[in-house]
């Protein structure tokens, strides 16, 4: 039991640290060279931050969400990304343990978190990050097939998942002429579909559209958005696929068990 608790603590602390780095990547994604060239600083007063201002999650709490120097508010993105990364990595460890699958899923999840936040900030999906995610998953499938002797059905189901979600989103983009969602969602959807595979992709897609619909209705009700307002869909696709990744098989089995 103590060993299990220690493992979770290691995963969670690592997740918080990685999440802190992902925040830097998100904010400086348009100029990644600045990550190396310049130190972390307050975006409001430009004051260079010390190490005790950068302790993941803890610094935000101790500073009450404000800069130590100018007292202006710190974006809620920082603690949310840090805590979210820790939560995702903890869930990966819970479901897959320490394995080559969990390693690749952890790397991919970090990229998806960057895509998630960047789409909210800029309403854009980076093609580079989508291709990088696809490449990592293809490498995993290749390693699994040639070295771990995974069944060919794993690759086929991954392809079916990619075609199902990518094709559906492509159809929506074409029919709506990009009014319902952007073309960038197609590639991301295909990669996410491949990641969770068939038939779990059905759970992921359903979850994504339900979450997006609920969030949209809430924003309209709060008068934060209007019916014609543009809403980033990548975050909901990613959330939906995490639902499918962690609980998709159970949900599919429960549903099939109820109708058979």
Mean pLDDT per block of 10 residues along the chain (260 residues) reads 87 96 91 74 80 87 88 91 97 95 97 96 93 97 94 96 96 86 90 96 95 87 67 93 94 72
Contact 77, 43 (CB under 8 A): no
* SS3 labels along the chain: CHHHHHHHHHHHHHHHHHHHHHHHHHHCHHHCCHHHHCCCECCCCCCECCHHHCCCCHHHHHCCCECCCCCCECCCHHHHHHHHHHHHHHHHHHHHCCCHHHHHHHHHHHHHHHHHHHHHHHCCCCHHHHHHHHHHHHHHHHHHHHCCCCCHHHHHHHHHHHHHHHHHHHHHHHHHCCCCCCCHHHHHHHHHHHHHCCCHHHHHHHHHHHHHHHHHHHHHHCCCCCCCCCCCCHHHHHHHHHHHHHHHHHHHHHHHHHHC
Question: Which residues, in sequence order, are bridge partners of residue 48?
Answer: 41
* Per-residue confidence (pLDDT) for residue 223, from 0 to 100: 67
Domain regions of the chain by residue span: 1-98, 99-260
How far, in Å, CA of 83 to CA of 15, rounded? 8
* Per-residue confidence (pLDDT) for residue 256, from 0 to 100: 67
pLDDT tens digits along 172-221: 999 988 777 888 899 999 999 999 999 999 999 999 999 998 988 888 77
pLDDT tens digits along 223-235: 676 656 678 899 9
For tokens 């809620």, the residue is: 76
Contact 47, 70 (CB under 8 A): yes
Q: Which residues contact 233 (CB under 8 A, 6 or more apart)?
A: 119, 181, 182, 185, 208, 212
* pTM (global) more than 0.85: yes
Phi, psi of 66 (to 5 degrees): -130, 150
How far, in Å, CA of 24 to CA of 92, rounded? 23
């Amino acid at each position: 039991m103590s060993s299990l608790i220690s493992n979770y603590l290691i995963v969670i602390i690592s997740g918080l640290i990685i999440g802190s780095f992902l925040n830097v990547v998100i904010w400086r994604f348009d100029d990644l060279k600045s990550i190396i060239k310049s130190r972390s600083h307050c975006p409001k007063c430009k004051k260079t931050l010390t190490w005790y201002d950068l302790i993941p999650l803890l610094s935000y709490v101790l500073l009450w969400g404000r800069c130590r120097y100018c007292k202006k508010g710190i974006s809620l993105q920082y603690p949310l990304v840090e805590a979210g990364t820790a939560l995702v990595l903890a869930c990966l460890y819970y479901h897959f343990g320490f394995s080559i699958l969990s390693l690749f899923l952890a790397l991919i999840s970090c990229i998806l978190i960057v895509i998630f936040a960047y789409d909210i900030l800029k309403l854009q999906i980076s093609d580079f990050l989508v291709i990088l995610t696809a490449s990592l998953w293809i490498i995993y499938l290749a390693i699994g097939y040639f070295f771990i002797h995974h069944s060919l059905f794993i690759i086929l189901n991954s392809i079916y998942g990619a075609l199902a979600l990518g094709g559906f989103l492509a159809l929506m983009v074409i029919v709506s002429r990009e009014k319902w969602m952007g073309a960038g969602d197609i590639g991301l959807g295909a990669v996410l579909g491949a990641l969770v595979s068939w038939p779990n992709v059905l759970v992921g897609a359903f979850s994504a559209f339900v979450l997006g619909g609920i969030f949209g209705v809430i924003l309209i009700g709060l008068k934060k958005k209007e019916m014609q307002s543009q809403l980033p869909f990548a975050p909901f696709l990613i959330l939906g696929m995490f639902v499918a990744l962690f609980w998709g098989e159970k949900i599919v089995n429960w549903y099939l068990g109820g109708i058979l």
